[in-house]
Chain A
Amino acid sequence: MSGFLKIFGWPILLALVSLIGLVAALIGDGAWDGLSWLCLAAPLAVLVWVLLTRRG
């Protein structure tokens, strides 16, 4: 199980956060839009972080 999470932990987490982001803006305006932007920007932030720290 830990092997599975080691491989898929990050992708699953980012997918769940993205899905919350995709649905949030459909539910409401204002704060819901803000939540949507945060959640869809999160995977991009993680991408920037790994490219800065794990590229060698």
Chain B
Amino acid sequence: MRPATVRIWSLVHKWTSLICTVFLLMLCVTGLPLIFHHEIDDLTGHDRWRPANPGGPMLTYDQVLETALKRRPGEVPIFMSFDDDRPVVNVTSGPTADAPGSRMTFAPIDRTSGDPVPPTPAGGVMDFILQLHTDLFLGLAGMLFLGAMGLLFAASVISGIVVYAPFMRRLPFGTVRASRSARVKWLDYHNVLGAVTLAWVLVVGVTGVVNTLAGPITDSWKAGALASLSAPYQGKPPPARMASLDAAVRTAQAAMPGMEVQFVAFPGSGYSTGHHYAVFLHGTTPLTRHLARPALIDAETGDLTAVQDMPLLSKVLSLSQPLHFGDYGGLPLKILWAVLDLITLVVLGSGVYLWLGAGRRKPVAVTPDEARA
């Protein structure tokens, strides 16, 4: 590579890193507890909860919904989701079906009694961390901003690969010249730690960027496939009386045998039309578990309108979630995720250190030429 080319790539590496590093440090720090979200919930009491009447008859979904709405007078249902490890149904409600997340109420309900399930003690702290990690408390704008930082980070990693070459021309892979100056030593650490985490960091980074586009991707699905389903309802008032939710779920399951219910989106919510229950079902293998398909059920008549395949972008989004969270391969995978996250923190930190030191000594202490020595 010509020296001028190397200089351009180093500038790209320097500036993309400088802009995104402070946010990436925040994302790595907040991401660490989020990897173990489920375990932290369990440790703080989630798994000590017991249903009121274990083995007893379960309330129907319609009864659970009625119970939940009685506690939130004047509100409408938005989503219903189902815990897979306990008889708990979660009802999300709000002043309107299209209310923003901040105005929604999430109510877990014991299906054996209708009692509310107490929130986990760490829930508030974890929600705070999750929100900071997701959107800096700035909603869609914050999400998209972090997405842009993720893109800069990807550019920084790729330019990092290019500028890695001249440093490593004369050094065997993984050499750390620990007896040399601190600067040389940390440059070597930066290089070897960056090199071993390369694929993981790019996958987690790029899937993180895709996740920041969740809103726009879901909106484009609504504007496309869902809009054609709501066309026949043009001008009709919202459903006057609601068909049975249990019957809707049964209808959806009959249309997709062998699949399990993931969640139901109510009419007017972000994942349905103004006139349908969208019953999302997913398969039972690790891959199909993440690829839900909705059955759209007319909320007034209870008839099946259509079973839909999600568009490609939505599928990419669905698969980006496990690949970003690391929650799809048991505890060992989470521990590996945490170790790789910590190594990434060291790469970021050493990068800042190398930049801080860059102007102190002239000529620049470590040039590719010196690296050869």
Contacts and interface: CB of A to CB of B under 8 A. Distances in A.
B286 A55 contact: no
B203 A22 contact: yes
A55 B199 contact: no
B196 A32 contact: no
Contacts of B161: 11
Chain A interface size range: 20 to 34
B174 A47 contact: yes
Interface string B153-182: 000000001001100110011111111000
A36 B196 contact: no
A55 B200 contact: no
B166 to A, nearest CB: 9
Interface string A16-56: 10110010111111001100110011011011011100111
B173 A41 contact: no
B198 A14 contact: yes
B332 interface: yes
B196 A44 contact: yes
A30 B177 CA distance: 41
Contacts of A51: 174, 176, 192
B214 interface: no
A47 B193 contact: yes
B58 to A, nearest CB: 27
B336 interface: yes
Contacts of B173: 9-11, 50, 54
A51 B165 CA distance: 20
Contacts of A7: 164-165, 168-169
Interface string B311-340: 000000001001100001110110010011
A26 B199 contact: no
A7 B164 CA distance: 8
Given A8-B165, A14-B199, A50 B174 contact: yes
A40 B286 contact: no
Contacts of B199: 14-16, 18-19, 22
Given A14-B196, A37-B333, A55-B176, A28 B286 contact: yes
Contacts of B286: 25-29, 32
B358 interface: no
B198 A47 contact: no
B138 interface: no
Given A10-B173, A11-B173, A47 B329 contact: no
Contact of B197 (A16, A41, A43, A50): A43
Contacts of A18: 198-200
B234 interface: no
A37 B174 contact: no
B59 to A, nearest CB: 31
Contacts of A33: 329-330, 332-333
B196 A47 contact: yes
Interface in B326-356: 328-330, 332-333, 336, 339-340, 343
Give the top 4 A-B pairs by smallest Cβ distance, nearest first.
Answer: A50-B174, A25-B329, A18-B199, A15-B199
Given A29-B286, A46-B196, 7 more contacts: A8-B165, A9-B173, A11-B198, A14-B199, A36-B329, A37-B332, A40-B333
20 contacts: A7-B164, A8-B165, A9-B173, A11-B196, A14-B199, A15-B198, A15-B199, A19-B203, A26-B319, A29-B286, A36-B333, A37-B329, A37-B336, A40-B333, A40-B340, A44-B336, A50-B174, A51-B174, A54-B174, A54-B175
